[in-house]
């Protein structure tokens, strides 16, 4: 018997299917709320984790999909994008923008499409993994699928 997905993860799964992405959401036994925990649970390099980080920039949310091996240099990224500033979103801003909790933010399944930046270094991996809407869920996809799914702009983030 298949256990039903959490409603947030089901929204993500539905969004993946609508985008033609066949990767299945995997439910992990333990929370994988950081890239290092997710990589360890999956037995992969931390760089192959597409970490979903929500920032606030120019009065709107900005989703940055970064390699788990990177830290986002917000000043450099703001300069590259021609934005005033980029600061980490608050817990409430993340929840409002994505409908998801920090540690489980997926690249999709949000109330509305977010402006998204995709770390160019994720292209170095044949398969990447992203959060599936909760800290216990992840799913595989390719770099090209991530860019298409999010409508993201590919950029250097570190």
Confidence of residue 110 (pLDDT cuts 50, 70, 90): very high
Q: Which DSSP letter does residue 5 get?
A: P
What is the Cα–Cα distance from 76 to 97, expressed in whole angstroms? 23
User: What's the whole-model pTM score?
Assistant: 0.94
Pick the CATH number of 7-155 from 3.30.365.10, 3.20.20.30, 3.90.960.10, 2.60.40.3710: 3.90.960.10
pLDDT digits (tens, 9 = 90+) for 48-95: 999 999 999 999 999 999 999 999 999 999 999 999 999 999 999 999
pLDDT tens digits for range 20-34: 999 999 999 888 888
pLDDT at 1: 52
- Pair 137, 28: CB distance under 8 Å: yes
């Amino acid at each position: 018997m298949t256990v039903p997905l959490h409603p947030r993860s089901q929204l993500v799964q539905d969004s993946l299917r609508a985008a033609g992405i066949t990767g299945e959401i995997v439910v992990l036994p333990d929370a994988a709320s950081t890239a290092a925990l997710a990589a360890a649970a999956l037995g992969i390099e931390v760089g192959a984790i597409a970490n979903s980080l929500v920032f606030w920039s120019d009065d709107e949310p900005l989703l940055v999909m970064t390699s788990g091996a990177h830290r986002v240099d917000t000043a450099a990224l703001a300069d590259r994008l021609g934005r005033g500033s980029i600061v980490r979103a608050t817990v409430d801003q993340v929840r409002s923008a994505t409908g998801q909790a920090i540690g489980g933010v997926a690249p999709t399944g949000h109330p509305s499409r977010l402006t998204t930046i995709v770390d160019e270094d994720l292209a170095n991996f044949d398969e990447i993994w992203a959060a599936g809407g909760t800290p216990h869920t992840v799913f595989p996809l390719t770099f090209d699928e991530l860019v298409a799914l999010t409508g993201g702009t590919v950029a250097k983030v570190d």
